[in-house]
């Protein structure tokens, strides 16, 4: 019995649990508060842009301002989410505290003037920057520093989307393709839960999505073989859309760098390209986040959950607008635009397949994200948190298949390949997606 008690070490386990809770909870409070401020500011910036359409003409100017500030004062902050991943893998120079205000200001300017960008990158970078600041103040060890940074990622993600479970799993899953970092299980969960609760306590509200469930259908959808086959086929296309977005974004980024050596001028060119696309298509539906539409007729994420709520090529135009914006150096995240791409593509595929449009919009919403970030488990949980657990099996199938079909690419090039999808030589745990891309 004594040997068993020594092996369990209950007091040591409780002490470790309390210590991690004490470290992770403040990260959640700081990140959740930052997300609440960001969400409020982002809503105000979007409303201003809708009220003053001429702000779009200032997009190249705002791009120069963002590019110049990062060029002169960024000092590594331009690495963004990839810097966070690198620092978690190999703590060294740390995450600059200035990353939080820089990415907040850059993202708000991007959205105010109409750039097509998201919000996850901003929330995650603010969370990581604040966690790094806390780590410096407490003088934690390198190992604890890594876990604090992961907690910041979890808290930022969970609070900005209102999905604390997905946020916790995302922080553990995003670092290495095919592997989970379970040593941070408790702190990332604590940070994400506290971050979400803090953000809500500040009065921040998250979008409510709805997928219809037939009366009396029970807690879980019955497994329909024909519907499952349609989901698998659609998921393969969702994965290809993820691949297209990642490859186009990285390709355009390399093109900008080659053609425009002076970094602050790249967003200027990107801003001009976005304005040209707006007037070429004759619509502003693909600017900004895209969660809500400026008018009832606008294509948006919410409209994609209704029949006829997207055009056949809405997904492609949003993909192009976002790739042009972010590759040029504007700030924000990729995830909410990916929600738009997935939901509108799902709307089209559901219509063509004679399947429920709202269900397929929801599947695309999470599956394109899963393929682009290589985080199928987090995205499955996100589907359950946002849409309910009735279609959980279909969410999992869509995310897993999209993840497989997206190949060894992704929006975070600092990700390492732990378990290869279908090329065993790549899965050594040290090779990054960036290195794999450079070998092609």
Among 168, 202, 236, the domain-final residue is 202
Geometric angle at alpha carbon 412, from 408 and 418, rounded to 5°: 50
pLDDT at 8 exceeding the cut of 60: no
pLDDT of residue 423: 67
Residue with tokens 């990700």: 415
Least confident residue range of 31-35, 40-44, 179-183, 295-299: 179-183
Interval 85-119: pLDDT, tens: 888 887 776 788 888 889 999 999 999 999 999 98
**Containing H/E element for 416?**
strand 416-417
Sign of CA dihedral 375, 381, 387, 393: positive
pLDDT at 3 exceeding the cut of 60: no
Asked if 283 and 350 sit in the same domain, the reply is yes
Asked if 334 and 229 sit in the same domain, the reply is yes
What is the domain count for the chain? 2
Query: Quick check: is 161 in a domain?
Result: yes
Task: Concatenate the DSSP letters of all residues of 177-201 into one string.
Answer: ETB--GGGHHHHHHHHHHHHHHHHH
Sign of CA dihedral 340, 342, 345, 350: negative
Query: Quick check: is 425 in a domain?
Result: no
Helix orientation angle between 392-405 and 357-373, rounded to the nearest 10 degrees: 40
**Domain around 110:** 14-202
Asked if 74 and 38 sit in the same domain, the reply is yes
Asked if 282 and 319 sit in the same domain, the reply is yes
Asked if 249 and 393 sit in the same domain, the reply is yes
Average pLDDT over residues 402-425: 86
pLDDT confidence band for 80 (50 / 70 / 90): confident
Q: How many CA atoms lie within 13 A of 166 on its CB side?
A: 24
pLDDT of residue 427: 60
Which is more confidently placed, 435 or 317? 317
Asked if 121 and 177 sit in the same domain, the reply is yes
Query: Quick check: is 412 in a domain?
Result: no
Asked if 27 and 101 sit in the same domain, the reply is yes
Interval 230-271: pLDDT, tens: 999 999 999 999 999 999 999 999 999 999 999 999 999 999
CA pair distance 383, 378, nearest whole angstrom: 9
Asked if 232 and 161 sit in the same domain, the reply is no
325 contacts: CB under 8 Å, gap ≥ 6: 110, 115, 116, 117, 270, 274, 332
Asked if 230 and 179 sit in the same domain, the reply is no
pLDDT at 380 exceeding the cut of 80: yes
Mean pLDDT across the chain: 90
pLDDT confidence band for 6 (50 / 70 / 90): low
CA pair distance 324, 158, nearest whole angstrom: 27
pLDDT of residue 424: 61
pLDDT of residue 16: 75
Average pLDDT over residues 72-84: 80
CA pair distance 388, 210, nearest whole angstrom: 9
Interval 118-164: pLDDT, tens: 988 889 999 988 988 888 888 877 778 888 999 999 999 999 999 99
Asked if 402 and 254 sit in the same domain, the reply is yes
Asked if 179 and 235 sit in the same domain, the reply is no
* pLDDT above 90 coverage of the chain, percent: 67
b/e 329-355 (16+ beta carbons within 10 angstroms → b): bbbbbbbbbbbbbbbbbbbbbbbebeb
Environment class of residue 56 by beta-carbon count within 10 Å: exposed (0-12), middle (13-18) or buried (19+)? buried
Query: Which domain CATH number covers 49?
Result: 1.10.3080.10
Query: Quick check: is 276 in a domain?
Result: yes
**Containing H/E element for 146?**
helix 142-161
pLDDT at 273 exceeding the cut of 60: yes
Q: How many CA atoms lie within 13 A of 370 on its CB side?
A: 33
CA pair distance 148, 140, nearest whole angstrom: 9
CA pair distance 89, 414, nearest whole angstrom: 9
Number of H helices, E strands in the chain: 17, 2
pLDDT of residue 75: 73
E strands in 152-289: 176-177
Query: Quick check: is 422 in a domain?
Result: no
Interval 161-213: pLDDT, tens: 999 999 999 999 999 998 888 888 999 999 999 999 999 999 998 989 999 88
Strand, coil or helix: what is 152? helix
Average pLDDT over residues 76-93: 79
Query: Quick check: is 1 in a domain?
Result: no
> pTM of the full predicted structure?
0.94
Query: Quick check: is 431 in a domain?
Result: no
Residue with tokens 């488990």: 377
CA pair distance 226, 236, nearest whole angstrom: 16
pLDDT of residue 10: 64
Query: Quick check: is 428 in a domain?
Result: no
**Containing H/E element for 417?**
strand 416-417
Average pLDDT over residues 337-351: 97
* pLDDT above 70 coverage of the chain, percent: 95
Asked if 293 and 185 sit in the same domain, the reply is no
pLDDT of residue 5: 47
């Amino acid at each position: 019995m004594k040997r068993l008690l020594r092996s369990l070490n209950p007091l040591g386990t409780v002490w470790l649990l309390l210590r991690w809770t004490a470290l992770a909870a403040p990260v959640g409070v700081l990140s959740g508060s930052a997300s609440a401020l960001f969400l409020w500011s982002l809503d105000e910036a979007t409303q201003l842009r809708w009220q003053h359409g001429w702000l779009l003409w200032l997009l190249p100017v705002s791009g120069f301002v963002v590019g110049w500030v990062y060029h002169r004062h960024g000092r590594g902050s331009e690495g963004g989410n990839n810097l966070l991943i690198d620092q978690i893998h190999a703590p060294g120079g740390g995450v600059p505290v200035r990353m939080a205000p820089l990415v907040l200001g850059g993202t708000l300017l991007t959205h105010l003037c109409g750039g097509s960008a998201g919000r996850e990158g901003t929330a995650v970078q603010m969370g990581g920057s604040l966690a790094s600041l806390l780590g410096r103040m407490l003088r934690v060890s390198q190992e604890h520093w890594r876990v604090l940074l992961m907690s910041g990622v979890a808290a930022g993600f969970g609070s900005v989307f209102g999905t604390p479970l997905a946020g916790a799993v995302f922080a553990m899953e995003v670092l290495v393709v095919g592997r989970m970092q379970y040593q941070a299980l408790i702190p990332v969960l604590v940070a994400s839960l506290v971050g979400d609760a803090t953000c809500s306590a500040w009065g921040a509200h998250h979008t409510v999505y709805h997928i219809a469930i037939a009366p009396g259908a029970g807690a879980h959808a019955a497994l329909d073989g024909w519907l499952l086959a349609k989901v698998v086929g659609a998921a393969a296309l969702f994965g290809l859309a993820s691949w297209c977005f990642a490859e186009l974004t990285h390709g355009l980024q390399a093109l900008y760098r080659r053609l425009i050596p002076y970094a602050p001028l790249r967003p200027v060119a990107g801003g001009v390209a976005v304005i040209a696309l707006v007037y070429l298509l004759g619509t502003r539906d693909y600017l900004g986040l895209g969660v809500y539409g400026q008018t009832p007729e606008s294509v948006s994420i919410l409209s994609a959950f209704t029949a006829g709520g997207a055009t056949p090529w809405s997904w492609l135009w949003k993909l192009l607008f976002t790739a042009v914006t972010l590759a040029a150096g504007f700030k924000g995240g990729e995830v909410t635009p990916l929600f738009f791409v997935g939901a509108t593509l799902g709307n089209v595929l559901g219509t063509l397949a004679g399947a429920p449009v709202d269900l397929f919009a929801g599947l695309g919403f999470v599956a394109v994200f899963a393929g682009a970030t290589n985080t199928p488990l987090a995205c499955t949980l996100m589907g359950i948190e946002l849409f309910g657990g009735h279609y959980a099996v279909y969410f999992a199938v869509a995310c897993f298949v999209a993840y497989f079909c997206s190949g060894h690419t992704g929006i975070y090039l600092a990700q390492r390949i732990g378990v290869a999808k279908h090329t065993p030589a790549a899965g050594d745990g040290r090779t990054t997606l960036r290195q794999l891309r450079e070998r092609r």
